[in-house]
Structure 1
Amino acid sequence: MISIVTPTYNSEQYLEDCIQSIMKQRYKDYEHIVVDGGSSDGTIDILKKYENQYPLRWISEKDRGMYDAIRKGFKMARGDIFCWLNSDDMFMPWTLQVVGKVMKNSRVQWITGLPSHFNEDGINYMPILSNPIFDSWFIKHGWMEGRKLWAIQQESCFWTKDLYEKVGGIDKNCRLAGDFHLWVKFAHCTDLYTVNSVLAGFRIHEGQLSGDRNAYYAEIGSLNSIQNFASKHGYYKKAYNLYLKIKKNSSKRCSLWIQVNK
């Protein structure tokens, strides 16, 4: 099953487009989990309208931001493939069918598609018609963020539940760059595979949280600085030596993941 998580807060303007893009999927083994932050507009009415029309579950309660809501959603998820689709973005009709087929390959833990966008009216356009190269080395070292090299479009990414849990999930303390942080963690564990198809589109419109690019890049810079500091002062080496000691004295399989916070 594919679990799709959507965080919402006062999202009535675009939410129905998002929902309908999921309902139109040819692949039916999915669930849609909407985590609302206590909307005061018509968002809840829309969720009530659709809750019996397709595999939708939703909650509405205060949260500590978008990534806190996303973490809640993935804790509710029952599928073995995860993604999150923001309330103003949309899938293509074939998206889940492609994902379900590709991820039957046990080597594939994380995939994305060709970059694509929607304008404010939901009209799709594709400024990039060739596959970007998402090399794990560049991802794990913080290069794939849209300035140095391509950015990885979050709404087009799908990954296994096992991979998500292995890296400790998404950081709820991030405000804007939680996707970037998650990709860096994924890249330390596996490769990102690109399928030669548009899987989803990012809607560009006024007032969106991701529209503040300066703040987004500032948060990325902060994350990269923390990682560089940890590397420079030997924290990774110390953690790795501790891991080897634990592994040597344990009969159980173990793995190492290091998360460095401020």
Structure 2
Amino acid sequence: MITKPLSHWCLGLVSLTIAGLIAGCHTSAPTATNPSPPVSGDAAAVESTSLEEAFATINEIQKQPVWVQRLNTKDEVPAQENMDLQVGETIRTEKEALVQVELKNGLSFRIGGNSVLTLQPDNRLKLKAGEMITWVEPGKKVPVEIETPVAIAGIRGTTIYINMPEDPKKEIEFFAWEGSVEVWFPNQPGKCQFKAGEQVKIKPGQTDINQVRQQVRQLPPREWLKRRRQSKLLNKFDKPLPTLQKIDDTAPSES
């Protein structure tokens, strides 16, 4: 009479034990976390540009002081040769400083004293002050845009010189050492194209591209040769400009 109730009691105890083990398994399982949001195409493109296309290196400093403003900071650090640069970082020079920067894609530039330049995505450079010479490694056709306060200059396999006077009311000079250059105004149709040995100066506030075309000027031979001899950006670096032979091939004759 006692055996049957006892067997029922044992069966119930076993059932409770199994149920507890199952509940324990569910409790110890890791809870699912929300997946990270996918990176948008634009964000991925910016990241790719920052880390690959516009990666740059300071490969020569002739005179100091040269400063670099790193990303996400207002502080500047002293520039050094072989220092790596990223998109969004700014280079600033003082006094007679000279520095050369080379991008991985074949684009390079030099800036002179009292200059400020920011690296931007998509092969764009923003010159905020001073003077610069920009070129593309021979054999490469890298499209480059240089933004200034008055206009944008576009080059492709060309060597261009840009000079911004310290007085913001004065004209900014664009000069083609070799190849051809285009300048245009942001958000406006039309471009002004000029070639090796030609110069155009654009005033702040000027917006008529037809007027700019009329301002293109061919440098006289004597003036061209004087500039060639005296240019610090051409002559004061250890390594010659890779496009120097192309420049000299365009030298005008004084006769």
- Greater fraction of residues in strand: 2
Question: Which is higher, the Rg of structure 1 or of structure 2?
Answer: 2
Calculate the TM-score normalised by the size of structure 1: 0.28
Q: Structure 2-normalised TM-score? A: 0.29
In proportion to residue count, which structure has more helix?
A: 1
